[in-house]
């Protein structure tokens, strides 16, 4: 097939689905991938090996709606494992290395549809891993929202309820709650006051 024919028949793109925990990122990824399968497109799904909360080889969303996925260690493995694939899904993308945007760009430029889901911010409210870069180079960005556990508004912050300084804590349901901006600011302030008062007593 010549480059021209290839260009007309297959239009690659990068789609990013981002948001806080409990915002339905994985559900939205699964919805898009299932529709691609209905359209008889060849779909391949990857996730970082670090995420083994529920099942080795399945992408599992919180409502147990699952599809099989391949756990991999580095983003460059996606290039090797994506031969002849039309649609690529990548879940928990915030845990991948910083090569991921380059990998996604290469795949999209070859005519593949790449759908990436991940946390856009860590529990400190800072941009998370390769997601900000991916959002910049994506054709489409969808920010999905959770519901604030304090006031019921739309939430896009993941507030950590356990005191652990490491960035990755598995078993997220017990360790995080989604909060809106004002509730997140309020809870963070409370933590600071708590911290300074315990420091004073020591
Ligand atoms: Zn709130």
Reported pTM: 0.85
- Centroid of ligand 1 to alpha carbon of 68 (angstroms): 35
Give yes or no for residue 175 having a pLDDT over 90.
Answer: no
Within a domain: residue 132?
Answer: yes
3-state secondary structure of 63: coil
On whether the CB atoms of residues 116 and 17 are closer than 8 A, the answer is yes
CATH number, residue 109: 3.40.50.300
Give dist(CA 3, CA 183) in Å, integer. Answer: 53
Within a domain: residue 164?
Answer: no
Give dist(CA 114, CA 45) in Å, integer. Answer: 10
- Centroid of ligand 1 to alpha carbon of 147 (angstroms): 8
Give yes or no for residue 94 having a pLDDT over 90.
Answer: yes
- Percent of the chain whose pLDDT exceeds 90: 70
Within a domain: residue 43?
Answer: yes
The catalytically annotated residue of 28, 92, 150, 187 is 92
Give dist(CA 88, CA 115) in Å, integer. Answer: 6
Within a domain: residue 168?
Answer: no
Q: Which two tokens stand for residue 144?
A: 């999905």
Residue carrying the six token digits 């889901």: 117
Known active-site residue 99: no
Within a domain: residue 192?
Answer: no
- Centroid of ligand 1 to alpha carbon of 20 (angstroms): 13
Within a domain: residue 174?
Answer: no
The pLDDT of residue 52 is: 56
The pLDDT of residue 40 is: 95
Mean pLDDT of 111-131: 96
| pLDDT tens digits along 27-53 | 999 999 999 999 999 999 999 997 555
Count up the domains in the chain and report the number: 1
Within a domain: residue 128?
Answer: yes
Give yes or no for residue 10 having a pLDDT over 90.
Answer: no
- Centroid of ligand 1 to alpha carbon of 158 (angstroms): 12
| pLDDT tens digits along 47-82 | 999 755 555 566 655 555 567 789 999 999 999 999
Backbone phi, psi, residue 176, to 5°: -135, 150
> Secondary structure of 91-116 in the HEC alphabet?
CCHHHCCCCHHHHHHHHHHCCCEEEE
Task: Report strand pairing: 58-60 vs 66-68.
Answer: antiparallel
Structural domain range at position 132: 3-145
């Amino acid at each position: 097939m010549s480059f021209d024919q290839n260009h007309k028949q297959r239009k690659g793109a990068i789609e990013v689905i981002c948001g806080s925990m409990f915002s339905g990122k994985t559900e939205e990824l699964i919805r898009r991938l299932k529709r691609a399968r209905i359209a008889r497109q060849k779909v391949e799904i990857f996730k970082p090996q670090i995420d083994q909360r529920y099942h080795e080889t399945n992408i599992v969303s919180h409502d147990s709606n699952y599809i099989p996925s391949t756990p991999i260690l580095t983003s460059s493995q996606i290039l090797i494992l994506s031969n002849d694939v039309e649609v690529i899904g990548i879940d928990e993308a915030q845990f991948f290395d910083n090569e991921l945007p380059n990998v996604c760009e290469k795949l999209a430029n070859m005519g593949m549809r790449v759908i990436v889901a991940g946390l856009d911010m860590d529990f400190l409210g800072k941009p998370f891993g390769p997601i900000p870069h991916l959002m910049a180079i994506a054709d489409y960005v969808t920010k999905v929202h959770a519901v604030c556990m304090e006031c019921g508004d739309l939430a896009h912050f993941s507030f950590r309820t356990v005191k652990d300084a490491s960035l990755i804590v598995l078993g997220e349901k017990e360790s995080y709650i989604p909060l809106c901006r004002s509730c997140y600011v309020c809870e963070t302030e409370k933590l600071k006051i708590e911290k300074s008062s315990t420091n004073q007593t020591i």
